[in-house]
Structure 1
């Protein structure tokens, strides 16, 4: 199998895996499978974040590269007498992308398919058609005729629910569609960075991390960073693509296929100036495309990483992705490849003196 085929297989397994916050076992096992061959040690913290350690030099600075394992989804809160499921959103959802969408209810007995129910337009008043349905009024239909039958399917309150969208290579093969790009692409970047560093000499200790519970408060990044105590931190995540109809440059600057985004500012962190400039200089020297961007309404794991212990110089490197926080998102393969290339080059150029220079600039 070619490396390209292996990469697509990895991306498919990562994105098809089911795992909302606090239920990341399945994507963690996929990440573990792919990153273990390139790590000296693979452990977890007590919340379940995966930590793969690769030593370049034993006393070298610690460099953390973190993608988060969790995806946005739902949790069953109750089952009514007719077998319909009420649910709680887990992570950020906008009502207008939810109705009539297929879902998988993940039970101890296995997957139960369902759909978020909706009224047909024929019975809606003109006023009702203009208003989004409130999340609290939505339900999931799993084809059960009673609470008892739904329970016989294995469904219980607390079971988690994920969107349905199989990994798809689009007609233009540079574009890849899947659920959970947010943020299995970050996990894939961490895996691929360790793979490409396996035959490189560098004086650092590199940690490829899959954090948990990012979508509900950057929680796994807190615990995993505390365990690692890194000198430098990178959160690798999705960003917003501003190249679709209706999105203005005031809302999002980046375009899919034009290089990874370096996030100057988001709601969780202002980028560390010294680290940002160091990364930009390397990108320009190596002719790696990149885009400067900002996300005033969101954050990444860098928001927790940079506040750990005495503080960690950190930067978010993201992939411009269309339709994030929906059932189906699209990104560009070359942005993934260039993000990996950039981080590998950064690691190769980091050493204790450079880390000190960046930290105390």
Structure 2
């Protein structure tokens, strides 16, 4: 009966654990879906720390649940032991007074067995509590290999040389990117156009280091790309996806991605991406929750948010890759944002699009059709 006294406490504990399990799974799923975004910005550490933080919260709630369960179970065991000791002592007293046969003490054996069995139950309880930690230890991800034994880019002046570069996805019967040879000089502004399936996005994926199993050759500063340390490549190349992931958090958190920027810096970048007015109209502006997978944002707003991330970080990159990154924007907005990037002399810019705008085509040093 004693454990029943803890019934409400156990129910609340189990409910909290269920809710935290759900929160943990949603958070990890959100982080994993955003893996390409975190990789592009060199922020894979956010994946590690995010899972660790969510795991720690879950472990804290789970430990409370285990403690509640053991408190209930051990309380019952305690009263069980006390009851058995009382029965044993009473039996001995009656035998001593010769009120019952001495043989009745044999029953003590059975009672002692029950007592020891109850005490033994504490061992598994302790073991279960200690065994809980390894369940969460598996979320202590090791940092990805930083390529310390690979080469580093030494200069911000980075030429890109393609020599019969091609790519074929596993199981495919033909190349997604047909062999291409090309040299992109530092600070060049390149437009790549062509129909769907021509390999435009695949080419950017290779340059960004997302598709390392390419055929042919691609060199940066005369170093083969697959011989470069991933951290070195990411520190120079920024890839802006056509379908960026929006994390379940605030506008500010989605822009900072674990870094810290002032409101002035955020507002300036938002203005360049033509998103500032939209954000200012939101209930809490920068601190407005965007909803799961950014459901509060339209397709165009999602792209402008990704472009804002790029504006915040372009001073540390020398190569910017845009994969249909303005295709959901109005023509006027797209041209305005594209012109901003194209006007930065020290940047190497590669834009991929189905169709280049005639209004700014003259800003490109080369237009390539695949």
Same fold (TM over 0.5): no
What is the TM-score when the length of structure 1 is the normalising length? Answer: 0.25
Higher relative contact order (CA 8 A, sep 6+): 1
More helix by share: 2
Judging by fraction of residues, say which structure has more strand: 1
